[in-house]
Amino acid sequence: MKTACVLATLIGSAAAFAPSTMSAKTSAIAMSDIADVAVEDVVEEPVVPVYPTINGWTADPEAFCAGLPGAVAPLGNFDPLGFTKGLPVTEIKRFREAEILHCRVGMLATLGYLVGENFHPLFGGAITGPANSHLAQVQDVAPFFFAWLVGSIATAELGRANIGWVAPIKAMKYNQEKEIKGTFGAVLRANYYPGDIGFDPLGLKPTDPKEFAEMQTKELNNGRLA
């Protein structure tokens, strides 16, 4: 009889603790769910790139051509084929670098056409006729000078690339990480202004940002005309 009473007492005591254990498990599960939801709700904000100010220009990804000078009335923001639409700043800078380079070559070529056909004192006057044929004539008349000319152009181009461009391996890695395609591993340095390699023997480059933008626009317009 005593044994039965003891067993009944033990069973009752165990039953009294059962709900408390289930409640603890339920609470633990609920807290775990809340923690998971809290972790899922944490969203990393995109990192906003910071662009350096160069020659008074700070890249603006939302502006036409990232805010670079060159747009003038009446055409304004002229890009009918949308070459610059949706491009990152690095690509817009690369496009401007190509444009300003071709503008300068075009201006020099135009001057060469206008002067070369009427005034050619070099090589004893052996270079004559249409300007289109002058370079080929130089190769025949003065091959060593022609070789020096080619070497000088190559040296100038290598110097420009070293000043303004990121090393090819680093550039290809950057393009791969940013999923930028069609650049052939070409990326301009962040602190490089397109076309400004520091060559200014006559000191014509303005120090005022507004004046610099005006001069850059004039250079572009003259180059585009050439």
In this predicted model, what pLDDT tens digit does every residue of 75-87 receive, in sequence order?
A: 889 999 988 888 8
Residue 98 has what DSSP assignment?
Answer: H
14 pLDDT more than 70: no
Query: Whole-angstrom Cα distance, residue 99 to residue 86?
Result: 18
| Lookup: tokens for 120 | 């050619």
Cβ(197)–Cβ(58) under 8 Å? no
pLDDT at 187: 86
pTM (2 d.p.) = 0.74
Query: Whole-angstrom Cα distance, residue 153 to residue 206?
Result: 27
The string of DSSP letters for 78-89 reads: --TT-TTTT--H
Count other C-beta atoms under 10 Å from residue 57's C-beta. 19
Residue 58 phi, psi dihedral angles, 5° rounding? -115, 120
pLDDT at 178: 73
| Lookup: tokens for 137 | 């004539």
Asked which of 43-47, 51-55, 65-69, 106-110 is least confident by mean pLDDT, the reply is: 43-47
Cβ(100)–Cβ(220) under 8 Å? yes
Conformation bin of residue 195: beta by default, left when phi > 0, alpha when psi is -120 to 50: left
Residue 191 has what DSSP assignment?
Answer: T
pLDDT at 41: 57
pLDDT at 40: 53
The pLDDT mean for the chain works out to: 81
pLDDT at 42: 59
Q: What is the CA radius of gyration of the chain?
A: 35
Cβ(207)–Cβ(69) under 8 Å? no
pLDDT at 170: 85
Q: How confident is the model at residue 52 (pLDDT cuts 50, 70, 90)?
A: very high
Percent of the chain clearing pLDDT 70 (strictly above): 77
163 pLDDT more than 90: yes
3-state secondary structure of 22: helix
Query: Whole-angstrom Cα distance, residue 68 to residue 62?
Result: 12
End-to-end, the C-alpha distance of the chain in Å comes to 118
Residue 133 has what DSSP assignment?
Answer: G
| Lookup: tokens for 195 | 């076309």
Percent of the chain clearing pLDDT 90 (strictly above): 50
pLDDT at 185: 66
pLDDT at 97: 95
User: What is the pLDDT averaged over residues 58-63?
Assistant: 93
Asked which of 15-29, 113-127, 148-162 is least confident by mean pLDDT, the reply is: 15-29
